[in-house]
Amino acid sequence: MNAGAGRGRAVTLFLWLLLPVALLLAAGFGSYGLGVADLLRILWHAAGGPGHGLPAEAEAVLWQVRLPRVACAALVGAALAMSGAGMQAVFRNPLAAPDLLGVSAGAAFGAVVAMFAGLPAAAVQACAFAGGLSAVALVWFASRWLSAADRTLTLILGGVAIGSVLSAGVALVKYLADPYSQLPAMTFWLLGSFAGVGPADALALAVTTVLSGGLLALLRWRVDLLLLGDDEARTSGVRPGRLRAAVVLACTLAASAAVAVAGVIGWIGLVVPHAARLLVGGAFARLLPAAMLCGALLLLAVDTLSRTLPDAELPPGVLMALVGAPVLFLLLALRAGR
């Protein structure tokens, strides 16, 4: 084992150990305060231990509100970071992120159309999920139809173009929406929030994140070959087109599910993979788990901060946008050795 691999494993192990501690601490913050000792007593009681002696509402707050929320925040952060890491690897573009192929714009368009039609919350999430997948499918088929020499560049440019059209569609639907009953809900969803999530949302996110992450984990060694170029990958027995399609599918599935549950939360897919590379190096086998853990911890911290502000709860999407740019500049300065 070389020094880089050993360091990467040590960092990843530390992040794994840090995650449950962060989840436990985050579950205690909020308008109904729960100390660490209270949380441990409730969890121990659920595992078969003696009664915790706390009010019934404390247990209800933990199981129905706090744990689903912190679980969703961690899963959304992991999914978006995983999606960004995968796209940056297969496109060999440090600016690649779920937004690049129109995932966020497609999901946002699907959601606002569902809200405009007066559909229930579950249908809004389903339409957002379908919108994200449909946008990437449209970008992919457009790139295949154009048959350009540089298909990767065509895919990226197609994603930017289709994402722009879908963003215009979102603006049009907001313009046509009722300003009193529909527009506030659309605006709030587009800002990104975990305020209305529940156990079912956490379960759905866990399933899609595990499926997407499992596929990327199976392909991790092949993804590293793409960094050498398509010709070198072919000589190693890898089909770049099929591999790229599989990775994009996994990334799109994860990002679409995340946006469907939490709304549009930017910067995670762009910033977190760069931070993970500084910690564990560029090998995708080490980068993938580190990026997922860093994304989970970052969004968990942002969501905890957003709901503990003194005046009012600030949507995590807004807070992430405020801290995203400074964090990116900091990472660029670290990479430059400044």
Tens digits of residue pLDDT in 254-280: 998 898 888 888 889 988 998 899 899
Rounded Cα gap, residues 105 and 39, in angstroms? 38
Contact between 87 and 248 under an 8 Å Cβ cutoff? The reply is yes
Confidence bin at 328 (pLDDT 50/70/90): confident
DSSP assignments along 211-234, one per residue: HHHHHHHHTHHHHHHHTT-HHHHH
| Dihedral class, residue 150 (left if φ above 0, else alpha if ψ from -120 to 50, else beta) | beta
Instruction: Summarize the confidence of residues 68-88 as an average pLDDT.
Output: 93
Mean pLDDT score across all residues of the chain = 85
Structure tokens at 87: 């796209």
Confidence bin at 213 (pLDDT 50/70/90): very high
Tens digits of residue pLDDT in 282-291: 889 899 999 9
CA-nearest of 225, 197, 334 to 271 is 334
Check residue 78 and give its pLDDT: 96
Check residue 338 and give its pLDDT: 54
Confidence bin at 94 (pLDDT 50/70/90): confident
Tens digits of residue pLDDT in 221-238: 888 888 777 777 788 778
Report the chain's terminal Cα–Cα distance, integer Å.
Answer: 30
DSSP assignments along 117-161, one per residue: TT--HHHHHHHHHHHHHHHHHHHHHHHHHHT-SSHHHHHHHHHHH
Answer whether CATH 1.10.3470.10 is correct for domain 72-335: yes
CA-nearest of 173, 199, 186, 263 to 69 is 199
